[in-house]
Amino acid sequence: MWRPDVDPRTLAPFCQRAERAGLAQVWLWEDCFLQGGIAQAAVALMSTRTLVVGIGVLPAPLRSVVATALEISTLATMFPGRVQVGIGHGVQDWMRQAGVAVASPLTLLREYVTALRALLAGQTVTIAGDYVHLDAVRLDWVPETAVPVLIGGTGPRTLALAGEAADGVVLDCQHTATSVAAALGHVARGGADRDMGSFQRVLYLACAPTPFDARGVLVDEARRWHVTPEDDFGVGGSLEEIGAGVARYHAAGIDTVVLQPIGTPPDPIAFVDALGPR
């Protein structure tokens, strides 16, 4: 994972190093008021040949759904099969600070994701919602390969909406293997009336790849996020220990585990080097 609090000038070498290490995906996110997710994704894609880039997540209130569709369709047309995008509510304090907060974030997210999926699929979209208003909008450049649109969130209603209306869910690092199973239960209830065969379950997982008191580092991070039990938070230590920890989350139902460096600020190059082949 690429964190937006790291110097953006190191993003390209980080992605190149990740690709050389054999990693299949890099995920990044947009955070107020640090770095733009779409610009980050463009750099990551342009700097590599095969790396799949996940944007998780873009806050729905910050840009119109048509603007997002135009940007994502452009990237996905240029780099087919290598783009995934997650949409979320955004941190509400930040949305108010930016002047874009809405009365019903869940309603906006439902309308936004529904319209974005339809636009990226090449449909002509007309919607008269509470927040999204489109009149016969159709993209000229429709990606040849489908672009998964995921929902990122934490609350039960948002997780259920992901199961109902999106191509997948993005869960943040504030989960243990036990709590992630409960979160996926909300997702499953939302998707009870649809085929979930291709649905993607993505988790950001705090990772401390160090032989020096990895568990102590993770416990400190768990306390910062108020995650309990602290000893069940994240993975760390040797590659074997990290692999064993990741396996617990796969067993809980996660499809893609995205290892998230911890520390302020983390060293992204050292992080990917620690996870690469010996």
CATH classification at residue 32: 3.20.20.30
Residue 213, pLDDT above cutoff 90: no
Q: How many domains does the chain have?
A: 2
Distance between CA 101 and CA 61 in Å, rounded? 7
User: Nearest 5 degrees, angle CA 161-CA 164-CA 168?
Assistant: 80
pLDDT for residue 257: 97
- How many DSSP H helices and E strands does the chain contain? 10, 10
pLDDT band at 210 (very low <50, low <70, confident <90, very high): confident
Give the residue from 104, 119, 150 where a domain finishes.
Answer: 150
Q: Nearest 5°: phi and psi at 211?
A: -80, -5
123-148: burial string, b at 16+ Cβ within 10 Å, e else: eebebeeebbebeebebeebbeebbb
Residue 278, pLDDT above cutoff 70: no
Claim to verify: residue 83 and residue 218 sit in the same structural domain: no
Give the residue from 150, 180, 214 where a domain finishes.
Answer: 150
pLDDT for residue 34: 94
A 10 A CB-CB count for 43 gives 20
Claim to verify: residue 232 and residue 158 sit in the same structural domain: yes
A 10 A CB-CB count for 193 gives 7
Claim to verify: residue 146 and residue 159 sit in the same structural domain: no
Structure tokens that stand for 99 in this block: 């002047």
pLDDT per position as a tens digit, 24-66: 999 999 989 999 999 999 999 999 999 999 999 999 999 999 9
Verdict on whether the full-model pTM lies above 0.85: yes
pLDDT for residue 39: 97
pLDDT band at 275 (very low <50, low <70, confident <90, very high): confident
Claim to verify: residue 68 and residue 116 sit in the same structural domain: yes
Claim to verify: residue 3 and residue 44 sit in the same structural domain: yes
Task: State how far the alpha carbon of 206 is from the alpha carbons of 3, 96, 240, 259, in Å.
Answer: 12, 28, 16, 6
SS3 of residue 88 by DSSP: strand
pLDDT for residue 145: 97
pLDDT for residue 116: 98
More confident residue, 243 or 213: 243
Of 61-70, 102-111, 220-229, least confident by mean pLDDT is: 220-229
pLDDT band at 262 (very low <50, low <70, confident <90, very high): confident
Report the percentage of the chain scoring pLDDT > 90.
Answer: 85
Report the percentage of the chain scoring pLDDT > 70.
Answer: 99
Claim to verify: residue 134 and residue 229 sit in the same structural domain: no
Give the residue from 122, 150, 178 where a domain finishes.
Answer: 150
Give the chain's mean pLDDT: 94
Judge whether 15 and 272 are in contact, CB under 8 Å.
no
Structure tokens that stand for 177 in this block: 């293997």
Claim to verify: residue 164 and residue 141 sit in the same structural domain: no
More confident residue, 267 or 45: 45
Claim to verify: residue 80 and residue 126 sit in the same structural domain: yes
Claim to verify: residue 244 and residue 165 sit in the same structural domain: yes
SS3 of residue 144 by DSSP: coil
User: Is the four-CA dihedral 19, 23, 24, 25 of positive or negative sign?
Assistant: negative
CB-based burial label for 118 (10 Å; 0-12, 13-18, 19+): buried
Strands (DSSP E) contained in 9-71 are: 25-28, 52-59
Claim to verify: residue 178 and residue 140 sit in the same structural domain: no
Distance between CA 7 and CA 34 in Å, rounded? 10
Domain that holds residue 194: 153-278
Claim to verify: residue 184 and residue 270 sit in the same structural domain: yes
Claim to verify: residue 121 and residue 219 sit in the same structural domain: no
Which H/E stretch holds residue 245? Answer: helix 239-251
pLDDT per position as a tens digit, 116-151: 999 999 999 999 999 999 999 999 999 999 999 999
A 10 A CB-CB count for 67 gives 11
Q: Nearest 5°: phi and psi at 263?
A: 120, 160
Q: At what angle do helices 105-120 and 156-165 cross, to 10 degrees?
A: 20
